[in-house]
Structures are given as structure tokens and as C-alpha cells.
Structure 1
Amino acid sequence: MVGIILASHGEFANGIKQSSEMIFGQQPDVQAVVLMPSEGPDQFRKKLEDAIASLSNQEQVLILCDLWGGTPFNQSSAVIKGHEDTWAIVTGMNLPMIIEAYAQRLGSDDAHEIATHICKTGAEGCKTLPESLQPETEGAAPAAAAPVAQGAIPEGTVLGDGHIKYVLARVDSRLLHGQVATAWTKAVNPDRIIVVSDGVAHDDLRKSLIEQAAPPGVKANVVPIAKMIQVAKDPRFGATKAMLLFENPEDALKVIDAGADIKELNIGSMAHSLGKVVVNNAIALGKEDVETFKKLKEKGIKFDVRKVPADSKDNMDNLVAKAEAELK
């Protein structure tokens, strides 16, 4: 695995490392190296060399720096000499860039390849709202004319094998947020994210925010439970790879009861509220939740209890038993 060094002025590298691991999970072979106001170049150089020495793979090293021309970059440039064939430095470090680096090194052992890829991601992470404030890319080609609308796919059309593919079905009270839009999307590669919620489907503001939060190349839809049940049976979705997001296990059970071919539920986070007990650092269960998970288990549903792909799996049976005991 490519080793990653995050280098910055002040505590920025430590902070962005913590932020990236909140989204993508704990990461091996990632070190933050910071230049404090009281330190000089030589002290930073020593910390940088020690950090590289701590990596399990010192043949492939990627250094992400905050600023071109600053001390962290200058000392990294000095350290990279003699390793240019396998090491790389990228400046302008931001959160989308780091998360993409984590994802890319799962499939690539080439620091140069990852460096080239994450430059594009880092630039794409700079967006404005309102979108009208976004500057045009210099030298960009004129926008192509909008394609002619083809209309809805006729009812009864069969795409693929006629059965929608569920690459992930997740229970998460926060629905579509950073961990889902980045870590899980990269892990399971859906082409559509479907938020299944009666409440959100009828809340125009929340619905709009969720649709805007979809990562590039993935469409997000918010539908009520009844609509999801129709979609699950519609052969026009046979070529769709869907990630389903439920606010609670009760909504998931309704869709499964109606015939959706869901074999496994990823349990991400369930917020604490009155009448619920906390059973781990992300999940709180009430009596209705306990009964719902029992019904799901009776149906043969498997549980994958993780906030992010890098987390170790928790045991749902143990969590349900803990909640049941505390709720008596």
C-alpha cells in the first residue's frame, strides 16, 4: 500500500487527517507532519524523515502538502531527491483530494498514478453555491447543446435482466452525508442513490439538499416507501446499481416485506432519542427497533454493522441483546 504523508504549516495536517478518517475510517500508513511557529526547516525535515521511516512501504510514498513554496513543500522536495521514480508530491491539499487518495490506493500501488488522479479530484472539490459564482475553466470548450429529451422509458420495457441490483442497503438516520457520499460510494460503485423516506420525500428543502449532495457521476433520488416498492418490481430498473438509504430499520422492513430482494443491511448510524438506549458509538435502539431487527433476522437478512468500509464489523445480535436488557 502506498504510504501517505500529510504536511502543513500549523495543525492543519493533524486536523484534516482526523476529518478524513471521520469520513473514510481509520487509515494505516498515513502520517501527519506539522511545522509549528517555533520550529525551523531542519526540525520539520527531521519529523518528515521520521514519519517516512515509520511507513511500512517506503518504496511508494505520496506527500500531500498545503502550499507550493512553503517550508513543508521545500523540505519534502529535498527529501524526495533520489526517489523521484516512485515518490510524488502534490500541493493544495484538501479533503476531497485526501479521501480520493485513500480510495485510489486500495487499487493502486503506484504513487505517481495516484498523484495524477487526485489533482483532478482536488480541483473538482472547489465549488460554489450559488452555482452561478463558479468561474469558467480557462480554455474550456463551449457547453454543448442540451440533448433532445428522449422521454420516459415505456412501461413494460425490460432493461438488463429486469431486476434492480442493490449494491448497498443502509440504515442511517443521517441518510446521505459525507461518509456515504465518499467512502461507501467508492466502495460499492452505485450509479444511483435512492433515499427511501416518506418524510423526506415530502420535504422539498431536505429533498433538494440530498439531491445536491450526490457525488459526481451518481444520481440521487428521494422517494416514499410506496414508490420504492414499485421500483423494486419495475423491469425498467434492471440495469440499475442502486444504493438504498433508510432512516430506520422499520422502513427497510416495509420494503423487504413487499418483496424487495435485499439480502443484507448495512447498519451505519441510528441517532439517540427519548426511549432509546445507546449500544455502541453510533447506534441507539428503542423497543420498536429491537423487534424490527428480530423480524429482519427471521427473514434471513444479514447485518453489516459499520459506519465506514474501513471499520471492523460489530455484531448485531449482541447489540440487540444489550438494548433488550437495558430497555426492560
Structure 2
Amino acid sequence: MVGIILASHGEFAKGILQSGAMIFGDQENVQAVTLMPSEGPDDVKAKMKDAIASFDNQDEVLFLVDLWGGTPFNQANSLFEEHKDKWAIVAGMNLPMVIEAYGARLSMESAHEIAASIISTAKEGVKVKPEELEPEDAGKASQGSAKQSNTGAPGSFEYVLARIDSRLLHGQVATAWTKAMQPTRIIVVSDAVAKDELRKKLIQQAAPPGVKAHVVPINHMIKLAKDDQHFGGQRAMLLFENPEDVLRVVEGGVPLKTINVGSMAHSTGKVQPNKVLAFNQEDIDTFNKLKQSGLTFDVRKVPNDSKGNMDEIIKKAQDELNKQK
């Protein structure tokens, strides 16, 4: 696996390392290197050498630095000179760049390949509101990308992910899961959200570049699933707030096979068998019905997480609910 060094003036590298872990999960072979006010170039270079020494593969190293020409860049460049056939440096580090690099490591084995692949995502991550302040060429490019990736053709949806997540479309979904599953459309399926114009607008704006986000009520999703004339080549990621909505679409004929269970918020009357999932009796009964209908469960917050055992989680939740009676 390619080793990654995040390098910056001050604590920025440590902060972006933490942010990346919140969205994409903890990463092996990634180190943050900081230049503090009391330190000089030699201190940074020594930290970089120590970081590289900790990597499993020291032949492939990618430096993501904050500023071209700054001290972190210069010291990375001094080390790079003897390894330029393998190592790479990318300046202008931002969170989209870091997340893209993490995802690229799942399929790419060279620092050069990853460096080349993350540039466009890093640039697309820089946006402005109001939209009219966006440079004209950038706006056209973004619109063209979205249009190309969402052109319909005869056929039905391919369902690449169906996820239960109380937060719906947020950072972990827009980056980690989108990178892993490569959807062309993200569809939030919820009667409640479909009636909330503000939430609908925020979800549509949160869609990653090249992916179109929709919010539809449950009955409309059932109708879309039966349309075999307009969605050929379309890879759909479905997002649900709760298992009850999933059961309704499954009973309505949406052909789901696996449900990713990512997050269910705690509220009054619910028990919490682990850090991110909370259940009441209706939730447990609904998951049991989904299981009886033949669906399997993939319990993970992000793709890199190990899968949880849904049977054990449900049993623990049922035991806790029984104790409350």
C-alpha cells in the first residue's frame, strides 16, 4: 500500500488527518508531519524520515503538502529527488484531495498513479456560493460532468448500495461510499424529507461532483424501480432514514438484496447496542421482517470498517428492551 505523508505549517496536517478519519475511517500507513513555530527545516525533514520509516512499503510514498514552495514542500522535495521514479508530491492539500487519495489506494498501487488521479477532485472541491461567483468555465465543466454521468437509456436501475443512515447524505456517504460504489445517482427515499423543501435543497447541494442527488417519496421510488425504459446504465445509491421505509419499498417491489446499516440516531424509547445504532421494538421487528424476506445486512459506517454481526446486535438490543419492561 502507498504510504501517505500529510505535511503542513502548524497543526493543519493533524487536523485534516483527524477529519479524514471521521469520514473515511482510520488509515494505515498515513502520517501527519507539522512544522511548528519553534522548528526549522531540519526538524521537518527528520519527522518526514521517521514517518517514511514507519510505512510498510517505503518504495511508494505520496506527500500531500499545504503550500507549493513552503518549508514542508521544500523538505519533501529534497527527499523526493532520490526517489522521483516512485514517489510523488501534490501541493494545495484539501480534504477532498485527502479523501480521494485514501480511496485511490484501494485500487492503485503507485504514488504516481494516485497523484495523477486526485488533482481533479481537489480542484472540484473548491466551490463558491452564490453560484454566479463561480468562474464560467468551471461551472460549465461541472454541469457537463453531471449531464454525462446521468444520461438515461433503456433499462432499469442497478442498485449499488441501499443504506440506512439517519443523517442521509453527509460526508461519509458523499466521499467514502461514493468513491467505493461509484453511483451515478444518489436517491434519498423518504416521505418526510420529500415534503421538506429546505432539506431537499441541502441534500441536492451536498451531492459530490458528477453525481446527481434526488429526494423522492416512497411510492415514487417504487414506480421508478418498475421503469425499465429510462434508467439503463444508471447506478443508484438509495439512502433511507429508518428500516421501516426500507421494508415499504421492498414490499413494493424494489429489488434490493443487501442493506447497509450505517447509523440510526438515538431517541426516547430506544436502546443503543453499539455506538452508532439505536433501536426500538418496531425497528427490531422490521429488521426481522427484512431478514425473513431474504435480505442480508452489511453493518458498516464506512467501506474500510469490518462488518458487524446484525444478529448479535439485534439480540443485544432486544435483551435491553426486555429489561426495560
TM over 0.5: yes
Superposed displacement of residue 267, structure 1: 0.3
Aligned match for 1:197, one of 190, 206, 231: 190
Whether contact under 8 Å (2:157, 2:236) holds in the other structure is yes
The aligned residue for residue 96 of structure 2 is 96
d(CA) in 1 for partners of 2:225, 2:65: 46
- How far off its partner does 1:136 sit? 4.2
Paired residue for 2:235? 241
- Is 1:220 aligned to residue 213 of structure 2? yes
Would you say 1:130 and 2:109 are equivalent positions?
Answer: no
CA shift digits 1:67-99 (9 cap, x unpaired): 122221111111112101111111110000011
Aligned mates of 1:327, 1:247 — CA distance in 2: 21
Amino acid at match of 2:188: V
Match of 1:159 among 154, 159, 176: 154
Report the Cα distance in structure 1 between the residues aligned to 2:106 and 2:176, rounded to whole angstroms: 12
**What's the C-alpha RMSD, in Å, of the aligned pairs?**
2.0
Structure 2 residue 201 is matched with structure 1 residue 208: yes
Question: Is 1:63 aligned with 2:63?
Answer: yes
Partner SS, residue 121 of structure 1: helix
> In the aligned structure 1, how far is the partner of 2:282 from the partner of 2:174?
28
Counterpart of 1:259 (choices 229, 250, 253) is 253
State how far apart, in whole Å, the 1-side matches of 2:266 and 2:223 are: 31
- Separation in 1 of the partners of 2:36 and 2:270? 44
Determine if the alignment matches structure 1 residue 312 to structure 2 residue 286.
no
Q: Is the 8 A contact 2:62 2:111 kept in 1?
A: yes
Matched, 1:230 2:214: no
Q: Deviations over 1:233-272 (max 9, x none)?
A: 1112343221110000000000001111111000010011
What is residue 178 of structure 2 aligned with on the other side?
A: 185
Aligned length: 314
Identity %: 63
Is the CA contact (8 Å cut-off) linking 2:65 and 2:91 kept in structure 1?
A: yes
In 2, Cα distance between equivalents of 1:136 and 1:254: 43
Instruction: Output the TM-score relative to the length of structure 1.
Output: 0.91
Alignment of 1:71-110 (within 5 A): 71-110=71-110
Q: How much has 1:137 moved relative to structure 2?
A: 5.2
Aligned to 2:47: 47
Match of 2:111 in 1: 111
The alignment partner of 1:267 has SS state of strand
Q: Distance in 2 between matches of 1:127 and 1:299?
A: 44
Instruction: Give the unaligned 5+ runs of structure 1.
Output: none
Shift in Å at residue 41 of structure 1? 1.6
The answer as to 2:318 corresponding to 1:321 is no
Q: Matched residue of 2:169: which SS?
A: coil
Deviation at 1:101, TM superposition (A): 0.8
Could you state the TM-score of these two structures normalised by the residue count of structure 2?
A: 0.92
The answer to which of 106-115 and 168-177 deviates more is 106-115
More moved, 113-122 vs 22-31: 113-122
How far apart, CA to CA, are the structure 1 residues paired with 2:269 and 2:10? 44
Is the 2:166–2:241 Cα contact (8 Å) retained in structure 1?
A: yes
One-letter amino acid of the structure 1 residue matched with residue 308 of structure 2: D
The C-alpha deviation readout for 1:26-46, integer Å capped at 9, x for no partner, is 211111111122222212211
Q: What secondary structure is seen at the aligned counterpart in 2 of 1:64?
A: strand
Matches within 5 A, 1:261-276: 261-276=255-270
SS in 2 for 1:278: coil
Letter in 2 for 1:69: G
Q: What SS does the corresponding residue of 2:220 show, helix, strand or coil? A: helix
Decide which structure has greater helix share.
2
